[in-house]
Amino acid sequence: MVKKLIIRIFKSCISIICRFGDGIGKTNQTEIKFLKNSPYHIVLVAPFGIGNVLMISPILKLLKETYPHCSISVIGEKTSLEIIKYNPYWDNMHFLSKRAIGNIKLFTTVSCDILMCGYPGSSFRMAFYSIFSSSKYRIAYEYPIIGGYSSFLFTHTMPRIKKHFVDMNVDLLKFQKINSSVDERKPKYYFYKSNDNYEKEFLETHSLTNEKIVGMQAGSASEGGGKRWPFSRFREVAKELTKKGYKIILFVGPDEKEIVCETNGMQCDCIILIDNTLDQVAHILKVCDFTISNDSSLMHIAAAVGTPSVGIYGPTNPSLSSPYCSTHEAVVANFECSPCYTADKSLSCKIGYKCMKTISVQDVLQAVERLQKRIGQTK
């Protein structure tokens, strides 16, 4: 009780400081004018989560094409940044510390000309860290405080609007007058070149050559447990697809290993993959006909390698966080308070995420049928 009170008082103090800061100096909304061929140093602070990092990654290529001689550093959570490990459009990568003093030291060492904080990820904490970068331009979205939003400590901010996360991130480039087409905004996964034969070897090892393959992920990140559809229903979907001649691959991430215990009830042959690298996962997804998953990183990686997907959404909104401009079918909960999740706060629910339980096996199978028609696979 005392701890909660202290946190509440601290947040209130931060809100008062931000309100005061906003009052004495509004952020600049004017264009940032840079010479195209100058060797600028740009820092991109990536949000937490593999899918979120993919949704910010198009910025890297757009910046490099605009400023060919610039140096780009990416700052973020180590596990999440693994998804852009082989992306050729960044120069340096730095990992956030769990301690504030470590992050202050980090931002001090990456002195830069422009610092951009990706969405979702802007917060007072990131705004505070950003001032240690000595950057003249610090760009982000307004961040939540008690009673509203603030732009304190950032020099250029965008207002919060309901828009797909990819579009919100790319829109941060408007201050530099960098425009882009829908195709240029689509996230892309870049493979490790030494793994070129991995797909063929995988198919041969598991006797999957010329087979129809469905990739499934029944989990999600540990803090996203409320986005998980009951595994028993994934089992039923897998059973029905097996009857139609599909081979099932179940992807199990580092935060999902308890799912393995539930696979004993699978009434079909299922290849279970545990602890594969993200590059290996991307290669395997590339040979799948389509994927079925919760709102998790798997569907974003699948889209980034050109594989169609079915996504299951309860508390989250597919119009904001589904795979961007890809062949995707969204299964949405028919529940009065869904979607409820916003990027301003942690995922939580007072009624135990009943929205996910309203989605039936038949709902998902119907979405699969719609997807099959779109990709010309109706058998």
| Total count of domains within the chain | 2
Q: For residue 3, is it within any domain?
A: no
Question: E-strand spans in the chain?
Answer: 41-45, 71-76, 92-95, 114-117, 137-141, 143-145, 148-150, 156-158, 212-217, 246-252, 270-274, 290-294, 309-313, 328-332
For residue 14, the model assigns a pLDDT of: 47
197-206, 209-218, 254-263, 318-327: which range is least confident on average? Answer: 254-263
172 and 203 belong to one structural domain:
no
**Are residue 124 and residue 209 in the same domain, yes or no?**
no
- Band (253; pLDDT cuts 50, 70, 90): confident
pLDDT digit string, tens, across residues 132-181: 998 989 999 998 876 677 888 899 999 888 899 999 999 999 999 999 99
Q: Which pLDDT value is given to residue 111?
A: 85
Other Cβ atoms closer than 10 A to 293: 25
Report yes or no on 256 lying in a domain. yes
- Residue labelled with tokens 């959570």: 77
Which of 111-115, 267-271, 287-291 is predicted least confidently? 267-271
* Mutual angle of helices 278-286 and 198-205, in 10-degree steps: 70
Alpha-carbon gap, residue 244 to 208, rounded angstroms:
15
Tell me what pLDDT residue 322 has: 95
Same domain? 365 vs 273: yes
pLDDT at 11: 46
Q: What is the pLDDT of residue 32?
A: 73
Domain that holds residue 279: 198-375
Buried b (16+ CB within 10 A) or exposed e, 308-317: bbbbbbbbbb
Classify residue 67: in a domain, yes or no: yes
227 and 92 in one domain? no
Lowest mean pLDDT among 22-36, 253-267, 280-294, 299-313: 22-36
- Is residue 241 within 8 A of residue 364, CB to CB? The reply is no
> What is the per-residue pLDDT for 266?
61
Give residue-wise pLDDT tens across range 336-364: 888 888 777 777 888 888 889 999 999 99
Res 233 pLDDT > 50: yes
Burial (0-12, 13-18, 19+ Cβ within 10 Å), 353: buried
Residue 52 has pLDDT above 90, yes or no: yes
End-to-end CA gap in the chain: 59
Predicted pLDDT at 161: 86
Q: Interior CA angle at 369 toward 365 and 371, to 5°?
A: 115
pLDDT of residue 1: 59
Whether residue 113 lies inside any domain: the answer is: yes
Both 175 and 206 in a single domain? no
Q: Are 351 and 220 within one domain?
A: yes
Q: Do 218 and 280 reside in the same domain of the chain?
A: yes
Q: Cβ atoms within 10 A of the Cβ of 79, count?
A: 17
pLDDT of residue 334: 81
> Quick check: is 250 in a domain?
yes
Residues 339 and 203 in one domain: yes
Residue-averaged pLDDT of the chain? 86
Give 274's pLDDT tier (boundaries 50, 70, 90): confident
20: in domain: no
Least-confidence region, from 9-23, 225-239, 253-267: 9-23
Q: What is the pLDDT of residue 19?
A: 44
Q: In this structure, what are the phi and psi dihedrals at residue 251, rounded to the nearest 5 degrees?
A: -90, 130
Q: List the CATH number of the domain containing 229.
A: 3.40.50.2000
Are both 163 and 246 inside the same structural domain? no
Residue 351 confidence (pLDDT): 85
Q: How many CB atoms lie within 10 A of CB 335?
A: 18
DSSP-based three-state secondary structure for 361: helix
- Quick: pLDDT tens for 192-207: 987 778 999 999 999 9
Hey, CA dihedral for 247, 253, 256, 260, is it positive or negative?
Answer: positive
Query: Tens digit of pLDDT for each residue in 56-102?
Result: 999 999 999 999 999 999 999 999 999 999 999 999 999 999 999 99
Answer yes or no: is 318 within a domain.
yes
**Confidence bin at 220 (pLDDT 50/70/90):** confident
**234, 218 in Cβ contact below 8 A?**
yes
